[in-house]
Structure 1
Amino acid sequence: MSTESKLIYKGFEAYISVDSNPLPIIRPVYSEQGAIAWVASEAGKAFSICYCKTLRDAKDYEATVYLDGRQIYSCVHTRRDGNISNVFEISDVRVSPTERKGFIFSKSVLTDDDAHLNNPALSDVGEIKVVLQRFKVTKQERVMKEDKDSKSDGNDFQIHEALKIHEKSKKGLDHQIEYSESITRPKGRRSRYSYHVFFDDLEDPVLSLPKAVLQAERIVLGPKALDSSSGPDEKPTLPRDGENEEVKPIVSLSDNENLDGVLDEMLERERALMAELENIRGQKRAREDTIEASKRVKLEPISHFVPGEVIDLTQ
């Protein structure tokens, strides 16, 4: 049996802790979709979810925690906070402005009622999921908010009755999550954050075209941009080696435009331009071959015989 206690995946660690001790994980599996493992739970034991970022880079990240398929926690950790490499422990959830409830392993509630046999909500029962995503925070503002009364502001977690699991669909699951008695916390000032974020998957360009095609379409100009005195038929020139140019956005779409139609049109235009470009390259290669062949022919001055002229044949 594995003695591992932490799932380690792409610069992050996550584990389940009971009495401040990480639980051993069983049969961990790692794939492109993430990491998954079983833990040995004990009914009635309170537990915590712990995670941390181990990769030292310039990225911020967000952590989201799900219990039995329901989100119970979400937090953004930034380099500006100064604690981005800390281990964070989540052991309870807010149920009101002054109350929280802890996480407890509970025995599965079994039933033989066939009405619960194909309940799709049961697919996530017994699952503890931690989603960790790296991104870049471009702006961060702290807003302080004070609890003035005990009214809910919509951020409270709603405790539902434990789902019943049909005996035929138990599939080895021995626990689900229940919640402890309420833990009272005093009212006071709370720190809230608002973020403007830029995600990793938006850093890559949506569409990439060869530079020559962009110039042929006048999307990107060469080093000598067309001025107001240029004629309408003047073509932008290709950049000389070592010169830089400004790459401007390829296309800008409003919300009501047909993206598929625009992309199809651009791809068709790209194919036509690439065919034309290849034709020009072929003509250039043919011309260069002709010039190269002409260089290999030895040319001598034309001479004419003059009567009476002595020709020296000894040289």
Structure 2
Amino acid sequence: MPTVGHLSAWIQVNGVRLPEYATEISGSGTKASCWVPSEAGKNFEICYEDSLLAFGTTTKIYVDGVLLPGGRVVHPMQHRPQGFTTHRGIRIASDSYRPYVFSDCELIEDEEFVSTTSPHVGEILCVINEAKIKGYIKRPHTAKPYDLPPLKIQEREKKGIVHGTQLGSAIDRWSKKKTREVSNIRHLVTFEFKYRPLNVLKADGVVPTGPLGRRVSSRLLHNKSEVIDLTVQEENGSSHSQPSTLSGRPVKREPKRERSMTLADQFVDLTV
């Protein structure tokens, strides 16, 4: 799974982590990306783990270029045991949610059809921020109706895009009556998962098909002197630097082309 310092993330289906290919970590240590195989009709979950829990963090999820409502709050060590946080889908009521589902894109042959589908279909982002966790607030009993845009793509514009994400049928789940209000302090890292069917990843050379079988490649920082600063700034001005777990292997620098993202400074946890 992509790991930056003590932060890591992965995608899982039926509780099993998907294999990851061509993992890359940026020289600044603020972005990690990889490819994962998708299978149409399968529910999936986005997981995040902080192995140190030295300070509070929040997660925000982008799917196919869409910023999803809500987010998750991860408390520091003194407030919760170690473990990982799971995004299963979008909450639609106090006791139910709609799961994320890998889905086939609908290819439209009509040349006059104008596709409005995001160019980022086939991408999942898990954005991690350091956060100040405030008091409890009451969780709403109901949530606004929500759905993801339809996956309709003009045939000549598909550019290898086969799968996108939709929301599945409602699933019952116990939910807490209260949640935390937080304010984000700074961005720590963004985990990017690019997903395609396994046969497409093989055809594109992302998944090796030789006698060695499946292989997960990983590129890390090229110089041991390049470490990730996840220093916690306390109110009294002192700081504690978190140790980096990165090695000194070469890394392919991330492309210059970056998506601009605006994160709300405050949000309430609405996902499950």
Query: TM-score over 0.5 for the alignment?
Result: yes
- In the alignment, the residues of structure 2 paired with residue 132 and residue 70 of structure 1 have an alpha-carbon distance, to the nearest angstrom, of 16
Of 175, 178, 181, the residue aligned with 1:194 is 181
Give the structure with the higher percent strand.
2
Cα gap change, 1:86 to 1:37, in 2 (>3 Å): same
Structure 1, unpaired ranges of 5+: 1-5, 204-315
Provide the aligned C-alpha RMSD in A.
3.0
Of 8, 13, 18, the residue aligned with 1:13 is 8
Query: Are 2:32 and 1:44 equivalent residues in the alignment?
Result: no
Matched AA of 1:70: V
Query: Are 2:92 and 1:107 equivalent residues in the alignment?
Result: no
Cα gap change, 1:111 to 1:192, in 2 (>3 Å): same
Cα gap change, 1:161 to 1:77, in 2 (>3 Å): closer
For residues 77-116 of structure 1, the aligned pairs below 5 Å read 77-79=74-76, 82-83=79-80, 85-116=82-113
Residue in 2 aligned with 1:58? 54
Of 155, 158, 166, the residue aligned with 1:167 is 155
Greater relative CO, 1 or 2 (CA 8 Å, sep 6+)? 2
Report percent identity of matched pairs: 23
- In the alignment, the residues of structure 1 paired with residue 84 and residue 72 of structure 2 have an alpha-carbon distance, to the nearest angstrom, of 13
Matched AA of 2:136: R
- In the alignment, the residues of structure 2 paired with residue 200 and residue 185 of structure 1 have an alpha-carbon distance, to the nearest angstrom, of 31
Q: How many residues align?
A: 187
Contact 1:19 1:47 in 2 (8 A): yes
- In the alignment, the residues of structure 2 paired with residue 84 and residue 114 of structure 1 have an alpha-carbon distance, to the nearest angstrom, of 55
- In the alignment, the residues of structure 1 paired with residue 65 and residue 81 of structure 2 have an alpha-carbon distance, to the nearest angstrom, of 26
Determine helix, strand or coil for the equivalent of 2:168. Answer: strand
Question: How far off its partner does 1:23 sit?
Answer: 0.5
Cα gap change, 1:36 to 1:143, in 2 (>3 Å): same
Residue in 2 aligned with 1:236? none
For residues 287-302 of structure 1, the aligned pairs below 5 Å read none
Contact 1:97 1:156 in 2 (8 A): no
Structure 2, unpaired ranges of 5+: 189-232, 234-272
- In the alignment, the residues of structure 1 paired with residue 23 and residue 112 of structure 2 have an alpha-carbon distance, to the nearest angstrom, of 33
Query: Are 2:75 and 1:74 equivalent residues in the alignment?
Result: no
TM-score, normalisation: structure 1: 0.52
Contact 2:129 2:187 in 1 (8 A): no
Determine helix, strand or coil for the equivalent of 1:43. Answer: coil
1:250-282 per-residue CA deviation (whole Å, 9 max, x = no partner) reads xxxxxxxxxxxxxxxxxxxxxxxxxxxxxxxxx
Contact 1:14 1:51 in 2 (8 A): yes
Determine helix, strand or coil for the equivalent of 1:59. Answer: coil
Cα gap change, 1:40 to 1:81, in 2 (>3 Å): same
1:30-77 per-residue CA deviation (whole Å, 9 max, x = no partner) reads 2135111111111111111111113x3633211111222223341222
1:107-147 per-residue CA deviation (whole Å, 9 max, x = no partner) reads 1111123455564x421212111001124x2x621234574
- In the alignment, the residues of structure 2 paired with residue 196 and residue 106 of structure 1 have an alpha-carbon distance, to the nearest angstrom, of 34
Cα gap change, 1:9 to 1:99, in 2 (>3 Å): same
1:200-226 per-residue CA deviation (whole Å, 9 max, x = no partner) reads 79x7xxxxxxxxxxxxxxxxxxxxxxx
Give the structure with the higher percent helix.
1
Matched AA of 1:100: Y
Question: How far off its partner does 1:193 sit?
Answer: 1.9
Determine helix, strand or coil for the equivalent of 1:168. Answer: helix
